Amino acid sequence: MDIRKTAVVAAAGATTFFAMSKVFSTKEKKKESKSAPTFPVVDLENFLKDPKSAKEECRLIAEMLHKTGLLIVRDPRVSEEENDRFINNMEAYYGLETAEKMENVRKQYHYQIGATPEGIEQARNHCARAKGLSEDDRPVTLCPPGKDPKWRYFWRIGERPQQTEFKQLNVSNVVPKKIPDFTERMDRWGNLMMNTVRTVSQMAAEGFGLERDTFTKLMDKGPHLLAPTGSDLSKYNKKDTAFASYHYDLNFLTIHGRSRFPGLFVWTRENKRTPVSMPKGCLLLQAGKQFEWLTGGFVLAGFHEVVVADSTIKAKERAEKEGRSTWRVSSTLFAHIASDNTLEPIGKFSEESNAKNYPATKAGQQVSDELAAIKLA
């Protein structure tokens, strides 16, 4: 298959939630007519069959991570039907009564397992950074950001270390009572996502001129989290509502399949705001802060936000007419470096000009610090 087959990044626009705050931009709200750039779709099939035959794919993955912090891939092991089954499962969960979902909340573990209710997660304050962007590329998230009106469900994927300094980051899963086969369905999607992350991590390492297992060794027994969000469009459907305020992810790599409702916007290394949609059967990956740390800033954690756009509203109206759920579910997984491993620029990245900005730090400590900053610790 042609690895340079392009994915059209669909246009969408938005502003945000909680009108008490000051908006970054004073101009008219962004519209959905902005021309859409394109990203290459990288097919993983050649690498899976014969890694030596996929040098160009590995180079492209490394290049895209450096330039955009974002990848769109096609993994022959992950079908669109798998994504649909997982979203169906989470639509059923988020459709439960609030009291039933609250039984699955574990605040004592920083909400890093089980359910996180709406109005808990709050992005870091990136107002100064956003104000430095061009008018067209500023986020529509309010400044300072409010608390996000979305639910989330955290589910551990993979083995955990027998001994760890960070036990609260490695606790057991919470299983809802009302959703049949919940464990099987969560584990199925989570393991599929981790397989893709490991493959992409191997390809990125080769593309960067590192040993193939450089990143996968560091991820072994990490606190990987399947973390699907649920945003209730029957309740929050006003244009420019922000479900996930302007932020970067704290982990190594984030991956998810297509949502049934658009609204995701990302920023490239050049600080260009880009609306994103994926072709069917594809997966989106973004670099997180741990990736940035290990590469001394050669790869930057990708900023993004999720908002209600005109296209979100149209998709909601279609779902209502067809009798489908109007919960916007993301099929997200956060892949982590193992908590007891040390984050620091590795190999040639230790010579990056900004390497000194990434001092040796245990991954578990970095996660704990980030959780405190976003009000989850």
Of 169, 151, 166, the C-alpha closest to 115 is 151
CA dihedral 360, 366, 372, 376 (to 10 degrees): 180
CB 86 within 8 A of CB 182: no
How large is the average pLDDT for residues 28-39?
Answer: 54
> For residue 246, what pLDDT is reported?
86
CB 96 within 8 A of CB 178: yes
- Angle at the Cα of 370 (from 365 to 376), degrees rounded to 5? 110
> For residue 146, what pLDDT is reported?
85
> For residue 27, what pLDDT is reported?
38
> For residue 376, what pLDDT is reported?
65
Query: In the numeric block, which tokens belong to residue 141?
Result: 């998230």
CB 115 within 8 A of CB 104: yes
Average pLDDT, the chain: 88
Those residues with Cβ within 8 angstroms of residue 356's Cβ, 6 or more apart along the chain or in another chain: none
Of 283, 296, 275, 286, the C-alpha closest to 68 is 286
Amino acid at 301: A
Query: In the numeric block, which tokens belong to residue 220?
Result: 């072994």
CA 274 to chain CA centroid, nearest Å = 15
Distance, in Å, from the CA atom of 201 to the CA atom of 184, rounded to the nearest integer, reads 25
- Angle at the Cα of 290 (from 286 to 295), degrees rounded to 5? 90
Query: In the numeric block, which tokens belong to residue 200?
Result: 């992409």
The answer to which of 134-148, 161-175, 217-231, 327-341 has the lowest mean pLDDT is: 161-175
Give pLDDT tens digits for 312-369: 999 999 999 999 999 999 999 999 999 999 999 999 999 999 999 999 999 999 998 8
> For residue 37, what pLDDT is reported?
59
Higher pLDDT: 214 or 272? It is 214
Distance, in Å, from the CA atom of 23 to the CA atom of 33, rounded to the nearest integer, reads 21
Amino acid at 292: E
Q: How confident is the model at residue 139 (pLDDT cuts 50, 70, 90)?
A: confident
Give pLDDT tens digits for 279-293: 999 999 999 999 999
Distance, in Å, from the CA atom of 86 to the CA atom of 288, rounded to the nearest integer, reads 23
> For residue 377, what pLDDT is reported?
56
Higher pLDDT: 109 or 254? It is 254
Instruction: Verify cis geometry, omega within 30 degrees of 0, for the bond prior to 144.
Output: yes
CB 224 within 8 A of CB 161: no
Give pLDDT tens digits for 176-226: 999 999 999 999 999 999 999 999 999 999 999 999 999 999 999 999 999
Distance, in Å, from the CA atom of 362 to the CA atom of 222, rounded to the nearest integer, reads 12
How large is the average pLDDT for residues 152-170?
Answer: 84
What would the 3-class secondary structure string for the chain be? Answer: CCCCCEEECCCCCCCCCCCCCEECCCCCCCCCCCCCCEEEEEECHHHHHCHHHCHHHHHHHHHHHHHCCEEEEECCCCCHHHHHHHHHHHHHHHCCCHHHHHCCECHHHCCCCEEECCCCCECCCCHHHHHCCCHHHCCCCEECCCECCCEEEEEECCCCCCCCCCHHHCCCCCCCCCCCCHHHHHHHHHHHHHHHHHHHHHHHHHHCCCCCCHHHHHHCCCCCEECCEEEECCCCCCCCCEEEEEECCCCCEEEECCCCCCCEEEECCCCCEEECCCCCCCEEEEECHHHHHHCCCCCCCCCEEEECCHHHHHHHHHHHHCCCCCEEECCCEEECCCCCCEECCCHHHHHCCCHHHCCCEEHHHHHHHHHHHCCCC
